[in-house]
Amino acid sequence: MDAGSRMSWLRNKIYRALDEEGLQNYVEQVDAKRIVNRMVEGLEPAGGANTNSTDSRGATALHWEVFEGYQYTAMLVVGYHADQSIVDSELQTPVMIACALGDAFLAKQLVVEGACIRHKDRHGRTAMDIAKEGGSSDTISALKAGASDRLVSRISWNGGAAFFFWITVILPESISVIFGTFCVKSANRNFYLADGMWC
């Protein structure tokens, strides 16, 4: 597939995603497609679409998708390996823009997909600081949940699921939860005493 075919394929795929997004009227679709055309103009000649190309403000396609609130197409661009650490002229990452707009879904998904929440913008604010300034408790919770989900998926991916199973099911403290008995520490630190049984 040559570069022109890839450009047409990507443009059509994003157009279909915009149609599935359920845009309210024709004007919104025309505006969205104009933005998509601007995104697609920065294509690499031989390697297909470059999702990390920036405009005059330093914003990438992902910045624009998040700013416009197109959740599906933003995740589509992330799926094409868009670099979430690229900053615009205000030194803001896409997750910071999602937090500023109060878009809890995008904020969480971007963090799960690897967005850094510790990066600071021009004013020294992190994504969490921006969410707190906006007063969006949903976005704050979404950032925390996204970080937690990313940690669990990373540990599971590295074979940590068996370790978590061992910690939660096999350890003596967990036996009290499983069997409904109360375990207390005995004088010997290696054993727990539960209703006359050793746990």
The residue extents of the domains of the chain are 3-158, 159-199
Least Cα distance to 74 among 96, 41, 58, 51 occurs for: 51
Predicted pLDDT of residue 180: 47
- The predicted model scores a pTM of 0.57
Residues of the chain with pLDDT under 50: 1, 24, 27, 43-46, 174, 176-177, 179-186, 189-199
Residue 91: closest CA among 143, 142, 65, 126: 126
Of 3.40.50.460, 1.25.40.20, 1.10.10.10, 3.30.465.10, the CATH number of 3-158 is 1.25.40.20
Question: What per-residue confidence (pLDDT) applies to 43?
Answer: 44
CA atoms within 13 A of residue 132's CA, in its CB half-sphere: 6
To which residue do tokens 């006359």 refer?
196
- pLDDT of 61 reads 85
Q: Which is nearest to 140 in space by CA: 107, 106, 93?
A: 107
Q: What's the confidence (pLDDT) of residue 145?
A: 85
CB atoms within 10 A of CB 38: 12
